Chain A
């Protein structure tokens, strides 16, 4: 697909990500549905398969999940014509999604550290502990089951459960487990 982006379009992309940044509580991936609406449906800068592939690749690659935002920008630039524009799309997208939330985190953490003896600050940090721990377990649950509970997915559930038990109880290197998972998948057993 081939598209043309004006300077105003690039600015619009940047501003859109600036606003999404502050709405992405729980990680950038929570803003993915809105990015789909903006990039694919409203602007037509990416095709549906390009959007899905960008997310799949970023999930499969090592590193923070937020990189999918950079990859979306990269592909918008590629559609607009060539690697320089792709690099520009990547930089604009990453800066847009990162600057507001990182600035807020930086200032809030500083404030929290200077006031760490305040009872309210201690109550917040300690009070949230059971919730964020439960969230981690819930995230694992969601990743393992996907959006439906089809019984045919039982090999994936089994792998997830066995992995969780091994990591919980042993100190084996995590990359061995990922390698084993990749091998089992490669053989077509999941």
Chain B
């Protein structure tokens, strides 16, 4: 029975226990996500809860990124759907949005009093700089998911650097980079898979 160990492994993998577990897990990570939720999603779902591996996370993130709409919302919808179907997708969305929305409204109501306070403005700047570091670190950590990439590490570096230059330095529209560099990468990967299978 060569399949048996793999099947057991699949069953033993951590996963959300119930819809309410899913809802509160997503609520909890959304409420920690100052300046973007993705860094928290990676830290909580991959490193702590271990619902998914780095490789799976990168693959899902690629899909969430290329489809229109808020990326993190797309990702949570996909994860919710995987475990509990349509209900899971809806609960994932609700978890991600309900409490954070109330927090935003609360902040908007008090904002008027503090908008001109230089301390508050400074604190927001400081948190913004930290948030920039968080998202960068998430990218750096996920690089290890490329070790076993079909194209090999050097080619991945070339494609990654090209994307970085296009987006960060030349400020090209995202769609150009995704279609251009991304399209090229997909074609190269496809060819590599064809050769590997032959």
Question: Which A residues contact B (CB, under 8 angstroms)?
Answer: 21-28, 30, 53-54, 56-67, 70-71, 74-75, 90, 94, 97-98, 100-102, 104-106, 108-110, 112-113, 119-120, 122-144, 155-157, 159-168, 171, 174-175, 177-178, 180-190
B40 nearest in chain A by CB position: A174
Number of interface residues of B (CB under 8 A): 104
Q: How many A-B residue pairs have CB under 8 A?
A: 356
When chains A and B are docked, how far (Å) is the Cα of A163 from the Cα of B78? 29
> Can you list 29 A-B pairs, Cβ within 8 angstroms, ordered by A?
A27-B69, A57-B107, A61-B34, A62-B32, A63-B31, A63-B104, A66-B73, A102-B73, A105-B69, A109-B63, A109-B78, A124-B62, A125-B63, A127-B188, A128-B186, A130-B156, A130-B159, A132-B61, A136-B138, A137-B136, A140-B132, A143-B135, A156-B129, A163-B130, A168-B141, A174-B39, A180-B130, A185-B127, A188-B119
- Contact present for A168 and B182 (CB under 8 Å): no
Question: Which B residues contact A (CB, under 8 angstroms)?
Answer: 30-40, 43, 47, 58-59, 61-74, 77-78, 81-82, 86, 89, 93, 96-97, 99-101, 103-105, 107-108, 111, 115, 118-143, 145-146, 149-151, 156-157, 159-164, 167-168, 174-175, 177-178, 181-182, 185-190, 193-194, 197
User: Given A25-B178, A129-B58, A168-B141, A63–B103 Cβ distance below 8 Å?
Assistant: yes
- Contact present for A123 and B193 (CB under 8 Å): yes
